[in-house]
Amino acid sequence: WNVGPKVDDADDVDDVDNNQDDSWTIPLHKTAIVYNTFFFAVSLLLFCSFGPLMRSMPLALINADFCCAGSLIAYGALLGKISPVQCLVVTLFGITLFAVEEFIILDLLHFCSYFASNCATCNCYVNQTLYGLGISWVLYRPNLHQCKQLIGSVYHSDMFAMIGTLFLWMFWPSFNSAITDHGDGQHRAAINTYLALASSVLTTVAISSLSQKKGKLDMDIFFVHIQNATLAGGVAMGTSAEFMISPYGSLIMGFSSGIISVFGYLYITKYLKLQDTCGVHNLHALLGLLGGFVGAIVAAFASEVVFYFAYRLSNTFDFEGEFANRGVGTQGGFQAAGTCVSIAFGLVGGTLVGIFLLLIWGDPAVDNCYDNEVYWEVSEDEEIIPPVFEYNNHMIHKHQDLAESNFSVEQS
């Protein structure tokens, strides 16, 4: 599952066909930076707070991987609109926010499901997604629609993106259960995530079909839904995957997530002045918030009756040491507080970093957006317009002007 976050953003951004060098090379560069910088930031923070304190290396490696995932998600909102140098600045500030928030939620608030659920909702998704969207909001360009022709996708790019979606779908249960308590908790996390993913797929296909004329699937729109909303259940289950929410609770989460994500792409995006390149708002932000608050509610209503045995409840919530007297109601409140901390860190941090980028580098010209030639030596082969046979019939209308002006299209 280490490849999962990288495939997610790299394939999401492959929808920007003229920006494919940025969509693969920069995320790889970001990943290397995040891995190295994250260890330094966390070690420094822990040393300054507690003196020499070490966490297990496997846990630190996995958490660094989550930091990479969050960093790439944040970049998904900015792809094609910032330079590589700006991307480096965004990454370094994002790592710092991630490390500080991890310390607050894990060590101060004792957000018990933070590691139990792989910090999937509160830090990786909510914080980093809102961080990227906050920067995108500050860097909003009213005339960016002039580059719309560079954002179009082609059929083979959608197919490659679907490969990434399939891998993510298969490995998401292990993503949510990777470092939960071995045994019952880990099994619950995997099962709950799988059920939520399965139900979100059914909901995505159904809602996408109902939203189209005569119930027919528009492949241009359907690819966006199927590449993203089918993963909605896994995102939403991030915080509560280890809890006793029962199979029907997982199915309800999956159904709700699929509906929210598809409706976000259909109706919400056009009203938001975010210019979200990869649509991370509709997959990661909305469902991260849903998962965070659902996790708080489930934690507040947990009981020995629900978990069948007292030790299972204690193991799940880690009520030990100074937290031995904390009740489930109080824990639910701290879960909600952790989600609010993630929201605040993401929005405030993203806004401040966006202002910093705007003051130092200014507002880049619209002509420089979504174009590899600005930062890359593009070979002549890449500058040639792809032949029409690469566009299936369902793509012809999307590139009608291209087809009519350069090629003769044979309709079967």
Locate all alpha helices (DSSP H) within 264-373, ordered by sequence.
Answer: 280, 286-300, 304-307, 310-317, 328-361
Query: Cα-Cα-Cα-Cα dihedral of 165, 186, 192, 76, to 10°?
Result: -30
Mean pLDDT of 240-268: 89
Question: Do 14 and 75 meet the contact criterion of CB atoms below 8 Å apart?
Answer: no
Question: Do 196 and 257 meet the contact criterion of CB atoms below 8 Å apart?
Answer: yes
| pLDDT over threshold 50, residue 388 | no
Q: Which residues of 151-174 are buried (b: 16+ CB within 10 A; e: fewer)?
A: bbbbeebbeebeebbebbbebbbe
pLDDT tens figures, 11-48: 344 344 445 555 556 777 677 777 667 666 665 655 55
Q: How confident is the model at residue 104 (pLDDT cuts 50, 70, 90)?
A: confident
Measured between alpha carbons, how far is 376 from 129 in angstroms, rounded to an integer? Answer: 27
| pLDDT over threshold 80, residue 241 | yes
Measured between alpha carbons, how far is 75 from 181 in angstroms, rounded to an integer? Answer: 31
Better-scored residue on pLDDT, 373 or 253:
253
In this structure, of 250-254, 332-336, 401-405, the range with the lowest mean pLDDT score is: 401-405
Q: How confident is the model at residue 10 (pLDDT cuts 50, 70, 90)?
A: very low
Per-residue pLDDT, 130 = 94
The residue type of 174 is: S
Better-scored residue on pLDDT, 304 or 359:
359
Structure token pair of residue 328: 């489930």
| pLDDT over threshold 50, residue 7 | no
Question: Do 242 and 116 meet the contact criterion of CB atoms below 8 Å apart?
Answer: yes
In this structure, of 179-183, 197-201, 252-256, 319-323, the range with the lowest mean pLDDT score is: 319-323
In this structure, of 66-70, 217-221, 319-323, the range with the lowest mean pLDDT score is: 319-323
The SS3 assignment for 6 reads helix
Residue among 345, 8, 296, 332 at smallest CA distance from 175: 8
What does pTM read for this prediction?
A: 0.80
Structure token pair of residue 358: 């705007």
Instruction: Locate the domains of the chain by residue range.
Output: 4-373
Q: How confident is the model at residue 184 (pLDDT cuts 50, 70, 90)?
A: confident
Give CATH for domain 4-373.
1.10.3430.10
Mean pLDDT of 268-278: 85
- Provide CB contacts within 8 A for 255, sequence distance 6+: 199, 200, 202, 203
Per-residue pLDDT, 316 = 58
Per-residue pLDDT, 12 = 43
**DSSP string of 37-55?**
HHHHHHHHHHHHHHSS---
- CA distances to 45, 54, 169 from 100, rounded to whole Å, are 8, 16, 30
Query: Cα-Cα-Cα-Cα dihedral of 226, 229, 231, 234, to 10°?
Result: -160
Per-residue pLDDT, 6 = 36
Per-residue pLDDT, 70 = 87
User: Number of helices and strands (H, E) in the chain?
Assistant: 19, 0
Measured between alpha carbons, how far is 338 from 196 in angstroms, rounded to an integer? Answer: 23
Measured between alpha carbons, how far is 70 from 34 in angstroms, rounded to an integer? Answer: 10
Please state, rounded to an integer, the average pLDDT across all residues of the chain.
74
Per-residue pLDDT, 404 = 46
Measured between alpha carbons, how far is 94 from 74 in angstroms, rounded to an integer? Answer: 8
Mean pLDDT of 345-350: 94
Structure token pair of residue 52: 């020499």
Residue located via tokens 């729109």: 221
Better-scored residue on pLDDT, 358 or 15:
358
| pLDDT over threshold 80, residue 309 | no
Per-residue pLDDT, 119 = 53
Measured between alpha carbons, how far is 91 from 108 in angstroms, rounded to an integer? Answer: 25
Mean pLDDT of 324-347: 81
Per-residue pLDDT, 114 = 43
Structure token pair of residue 140: 């909003």
Measured between alpha carbons, how far is 136 from 274 in angstroms, rounded to an integer? Answer: 6
Per-residue pLDDT, 145 = 66
